[in-house]
Amino acid sequence: MGRCIYSMNVSLDLRIEQVPGDNGAGEWLHLSEELHRAANAQMRRLALMVHGRVYYETMEEFWPRAHEDPSLPDYMHEYGALWTAMPKVLVSRTRHDAGHNTRVIGGDDAIGQLAALRARTDGLISVGGAALATQLLRAGLLDELLLWTHPSYLGFGRPLFDGYDMPIDFDLIEQRSFTYGVTMHHYAIRDVKKAG
């Protein structure tokens, strides 16, 4: 059985976007070669990626063509090649096709389809997108959280989870520090509290 891991760049107040549509590309991010190489290493450990539509379209817009841009460094070329080649699932009610080694699932039973996919996958399944991660968390299908925390407090913007207000307990698996004060915290989800 696979393990679903939600990996995201976040601010200190657990925001993933400051301005709607910045798609996590705001000036608050402190990216470095060291951080990119760590993300590349993490991607090489994956068996599969599952993206929500907004997250997928953000990735699709840039990464498949990154290797063609001579102004980008080699580690960004590598990330683009890894993302493009990785088997992916796009969860969408509005899109019915996608390129870049991606299959599309949707409809009212998308979470059920993801549960079946998780059951037959051997290895880590990366989850991209706050709405999708929240649905998986509610369904008990989210296993791990990998936060790349940047030393910025945004005060407003999109949170890590959408409309989720129940306590969650975690076990720390790994932590690491990077340049510019960025930290990585990798957690296993131990217990999701129920309402009432």
Identify whether 20 is part of a domain: no
Identify whether 19 is part of a domain: no
CATH classification at residue 125: 3.40.430.10
Identify whether 102 is part of a domain: yes
Domain count across the chain: 1
Identify whether 17 is part of a domain: no
Per-residue pLDDT of the chain (196 residues; tens, 9 = 90+): 999 999 999 999 999 987 665 555 678 899 999 999 999 999 999 999 999 998 999 899 999 999 889 999 999 999 999 999 999 999 999 999 999 999 999 888 999 999 999 999 999 999 999 999 999 999 999 999 999 999 999 998 889 998 888 888 999 999 999 999 999 999 999 976 554 3
Show the tokens assigned to 51: 């993206």
Identify whether 22 is part of a domain: no
Identify whether 18 is part of a domain: no
Identify whether 179 is part of a domain: yes
Identify whether 21 is part of a domain: no
Dump pLDDT digits (tens) for 14-58: 999 876 655 556 788 999 999 999 999 999 999 999 999 989 998
pTM: predicted TM-score of the whole model, two decimal places? 0.90
Domain of 122, in residue numbers: 3-12+27-192
